[in-house]
Chains A and B, each alone.
Chain A
Amino acid sequence: MLRPARPDAAVGLVAAAAVALAFAPAAWLHALEFDREAILRGELWRLWGAHLVHFSPAQAIADALVFSLAGVFAARTLGGRNWWMGLLLAAASISLGLLWLAPDLVAYRGLSGLASATLLLAGIGIGNTRPALRPLLWWCAVALLLKTVADACGLAAGLGTLPDGVRIEWRAHALGAMVGATWWWITSRRQTPMAKTIHLQRG
């Protein structure tokens, strides 16, 4: 049984929480952020909390807008159940990936990793339901790839919403895209032929 309201609700609640926490006391932000030493000490809630806290309200609003727009696209075009579970697993996977791939990263905050995952899901979903838009989607994908390369080289710092002393963690975006692709692969394998038909009809 498909429940299209649930993915929208999951995306909306996560985005709203991220924006609300941007105005929370600093102690809360420190308690939730990705802190390498603290995670290795056993404070595992930070694997999820890091995606909900930000360094500035501007960063939180930009991330939440991209996440909610892409999430709504993805939810509308893909439908599907277990969005909460998917988001939880994606968040933990991105944080664990950062723990492994970025040993110099001492602290991380931001929803953009998860937003990357939903961007990729939205792209695949739109491409499947509206084949005419595939060329445009490819252009968007190339533009995002170039932006990620620019972030990695430190060329796009002026475009960012981060305060001084904080770098854009491009690996979170790359990990998010990989997690999104994995999410899509698992979902597409588990969907029944009937559900696929319903999605195509809804699209």
Chain B
Amino acid sequence: MTILKLLAAGLLAALLGACASAFPHRDVKHSGSIVDYLFPNAQEAPQMTPGVTYLRPPVRVGLAFVPSSKRTPSYTASLAEAEKIKLLEQVKAAFSKHAYIGSIEVIPTQYLRPAGGFENLEQVARMFNVDVMAMVSYDQVQFNDSNALAFLYWTIVGAYVIHGDQYDVQTMLDISVFDVASHKLLFRAPGVSQVKGGASLANFSERSRAAQVEGYGRAAEQLIPQLQSELDNFKERIKTDAAFRVENRAGYRGGGAFSGFELALLLVLAGVMWRRAHVAARPA
């Protein structure tokens, strides 16, 4: 009888252990690499032909996430499209602060082909009528570990209340801006983040998904000031760098602008009027 009881207890323990180990949290990696997208079959480093890049302000900019490579299964396809658009809108706001930037188009990832190369980039640029493409590449790795409290998952209730699992989500966003006509990289700006946290077995999936989204958001927050700084630097660089030439496009932007000249004329007029009124009012 005792042997039977021991066997039953052992079987129960094995069953509970099996339950707990039926939900393994594997490490997750999402990435969309600009190199994989633009140079899918490159065996050696791409050769740049020297030449002048012509920029015609106001520059029309296209903004898009690099599509993930073909090898990435669709169920791990990282960020939802709505979240991507939200992030791109933040980046768009950074671009639109500069007068030499014209229209900015947010381009959904569906318009880009995985490993499409410059051929695909040019197609999309023509479709959206943009001169420059700002491509956001990303790399997110989620490490999952269990801590000592995971032992309490055996109690079943523990699987719902004990935070026995931990995640560590590390994200890197990188925006690279390419001139479509010359294929030249104009500038780039990175942003990184790390989000750590814990969850119970039951809500680990939900928590870790939220952490992934938060990771992208934080990386974007870090990327935007860097992008602003790079945009300012680039504006100065093209004034001195012989590899860039700024030309006026057909059509131009005009401002109705007065200067100190008109203001000075008005102030002179006001001064003369005031003086005459003052002299006239003075008793003889």
Measured CB to CB, the residues of A under 8 A from B are 25-27, 30, 36, 51, 54-56, 59, 62-63, 65-66, 69-70, 73, 98, 102, 104-113, 115, 119, 126, 130, 132-133, 136-137, 140, 143-144, 147, 156, 159-169, 171-173, 176
Contacts and interface: CB of A to CB of B under 8 A. Distances in A.
Given A55-B99, A62-B259, A166-B99, A106 B266 contact: no
B259 to A, nearest CB: 4
Contacts of A108: 253-256
A54 B270 contact: no
A165 B267 CA distance: 30
Q: Range of interface residues on chain B?
A: 20 to 34
Interface in B249-284: 250-263, 265-270, 272-273, 276
13 contacts: A25-B93, A55-B255, A62-B257, A65-B263, A109-B255, A132-B276, A133-B276, A143-B261, A164-B99, A165-B99, A165-B100, A167-B252, A169-B255
Interface string B219-257: 000000000000000010000000000100011111111
Given A164-B100, A165-B57, A165-B99, A136 B258 contact: no
B257 A110 contact: yes
B108 interface: no
A176 B258 CA distance: 13
B251 A105 contact: yes
A144 B265 contact: yes
Given A26-B96, A26-B97, A63-B258, 11 more contacts: A105-B254, A110-B255, A126-B273, A133-B276, A137-B269, A159-B260, A161-B258, A162-B255, A162-B257, A166-B254, A176-B256
A168 B257 contact: yes
A176 B262 CA distance: 14
B40 to A, nearest CB: 36
Interface string B48-66: 0000000001100000000
B254 A112 contact: no
Top 8 nearest A-B pairs (CB, nearest first) are: A110-B256, A169-B254, A112-B256, A26-B96, A165-B57, A106-B251, A163-B99, A172-B256
Contacts of B57: 164-165
A115 B93 CA distance: 31
A175 to B, nearest CB: 9
Contact of B254 (A107, A119, A147): A107
B262 A147 contact: yes
Interface string B117-150: 0000000000000000000000000000000000
